[in-house]
Amino acid sequence: MEMAEFLIRGGKKIKGEIEVRGAKNSALKILPASILFANPIGITNLPLIEDVFRMLELLKALGIRVEKPNGRSLKLGGSEVKIGHLRSDIAERFRASIVLAGPLLAIGKTVTFPHPGGCVIGKRPIDIFLDGWRSMGAKIRSNKSSYTIEAKRLVGSQFIFRKVSVTATETLMLTAVLAHGKTVLKNAAMEPEISSLAKFLNKNGAKIKGAGTSTVEIIGTGGKLLRGGKTFQVIPDRIEAGDFLILGAALKSRLRVIKCNPEHLEAIITMLRAGGANIKSGHDWVEIRPGRALSGLDVTTREYPGFVTDLQAPFTVLMTQAMGDSMIFETVFDGRLNYVEDLVRMGANVTILDPHRVLVHGPTKLHGREIESPDLRAGLAFIIAAMVAEGNSVVKNIYQIDRGYEKIEERLQKIGADIRRVG
Ligand code: EPZ
């Protein structure tokens, strides 16, 4: 059981600059891609977070040579993969472990892995991945504890996603690059992390077209490893950047978010401006300044370029501080509004309409409390709530937060937050 926790004293304004790290959800796809190459690859701007450490452990357990990170840079791959078997004790701890199954299947013709786990929302189905592999000629066996995927010969296919899925799009891309012939993925996800992954693979010898649109075409090498040898710079984490803008808005403070890509932040910036926020941006920064009192807004989470589900919880916290009613509609995940009960205990006035919709009546004062992070994004939302609240809060189960945010307390302290890690 996780013992460390954050102690937060709320009610303080913040100011200054805060730096965004490399994107967790990009790094977690680039690392497994490294086994597809004949030569080692380099990665820079790697976020030093728990999920990245877990992925590196999985790679090492497969015999992949991983150099110790030098700051945020790392070299890996170009070595032979030992076994097509993901270590279950590690893979069960985070959902993105399944991404590694794609390239492993492509190389080793067989892969065994446990049902991927993680936080409360991490244990979601993997049926779409399985359908995708089946369409390329794979056979699937499963029992209580694991799945085994086998394909003597992987053949490119036409695959239509029944439901848009980010990691399934990426994982199937990572399988198809070594398959025989052409794969066409339709109704594919369009997140910036996907175009970035394709760019990186193409730079290292892959042939992928259309990534970032809903149709992705991949010409497979027919089993031959990709060349590799090049270095990849992880794109800035757009979720972290969005969290910080929301924090600035919630505390009515002036905050400059630096080392981010404003192009990836259009949905959140548009939403904040619609509520009255005063936002300026440049090439790689966005600044929020105290403006008029924020008004309530309705938000529906969607696939990119819509409003991202990962900012839903922080945004709901913000809406407790806005004037009027806000309807929050979570359409991407089940169970991603459960944290709301804790917000209510902190003083928020929220009507739960159904498992996917809540109505926030603002503004309300929040009061410090002891709260436990159910997943990393709700965990970060609790940090924001605690910083807005009067009095002291304890945020528990912070492994969930460390999974995706690098030393968040140190970066928040620098802009004036009263937050400490204990235990
Ligand atoms: C990615 O998850 C991100 N994770 C998530 O970030 C993010 O919230 C999500 O995309 C949506 O943007 C990573 O990139 C590692 P999905 P992913 O498959 O790909 C259902 C964070 O906090 N589904 O697009 O796993 C699924 O249950 C994380 O950083 C199936 O039914 O999400 C969900 O309802 C959390 N069957 C919907 O699709 C499947 O086989 C979309 O999920 C696969 C998914």
Question: What is the per-residue DSSP string for 254-297?
Answer: EEEEES--GGGGHHHHHHHHHTT-EEEE-SSEEEEE--SPPB--
Distances (CA, A) of 63 to 72, 80, 82, 115: 22, 7, 6, 22
The residue to mutate among 124, 187, 300, 401, having the most atoms of ligand 1 within 8 angstroms of its beta carbon, is 124
In this predicted structure, which of 3-7, 27-31, 114-118, 132-136 has the lowest mean pLDDT? 114-118
Mean pLDDT of the chain, nearest integer:
95
**Ligand 1, atom 34, residue with closest C-alpha:** 333
Residues 48-70: tens digit of each pLDDT:
999 999 999 999 999 999 988 88
Q: Is 115 in the pocket of ligand 1 (CB under 6 A)?
A: no
Q: What percent of the chain has pLDDT over 70?
A: 98
Mean pLDDT of 130-152: 94
Residues 173-196: tens digit of each pLDDT:
999 999 999 999 999 999 999 999
| 1 confidence band (pLDDT: 50, 70, 90) | low
Per-residue pLDDT for 2 more than 60? no
- Which residue ranges form the domains of the chain, and what is each CATH number? 5-21+236-422 (3.65.10.10), 24-233 (3.65.10.10)
| 120 confidence band (pLDDT: 50, 70, 90) | low
Report the predicted TM-score, pTM, of the whole model to 2 decimal places. Answer: 0.97
Q: Which of 119, 164, 250, 358 is catalytic?
A: 119
Residues 382-419: tens digit of each pLDDT:
999 999 999 999 999 999 999 999 999 999 999 999 99
The residue to mutate among 24, 133, 165, 197, having the most atoms of ligand 1 within 8 angstroms of its beta carbon, is 165
Structure tokens at 398: 């912070």
Residues 234-248: tens digit of each pLDDT:
999 999 999 999 999
Going from the Cα of 28 to the center of ligand 1, the distance in angstroms, rounded, reads 13
At 54 the pLDDT is 94
**Ligand 1, atom 28, residue with closest C-alpha:** 310
Which of 162, 165, 63, 72 lies closest to 107 in space, CA to CA? 63
Question: What is the spatial distance between Cα 80 and Cα 48, in angstroms, rounded to a whole number?
Answer: 25
Whether 119 is catalytic is yes
Q: Is 333 in the pocket of ligand 1 (CB under 6 A)?
A: yes
| 338 confidence band (pLDDT: 50, 70, 90) | very high
> What is the end-to-end Cα distance of the chain in Å, rounded?
12
- E-state strands within 313-417: 324-329, 349-354, 357-362, 370-372, 392-396
Mean pLDDT of 84-105: 90
Main-chain dihedrals φ then ψ at residue 161, nearest 5 degrees: -70, 125
Per-residue pLDDT for 219 more than 90? yes
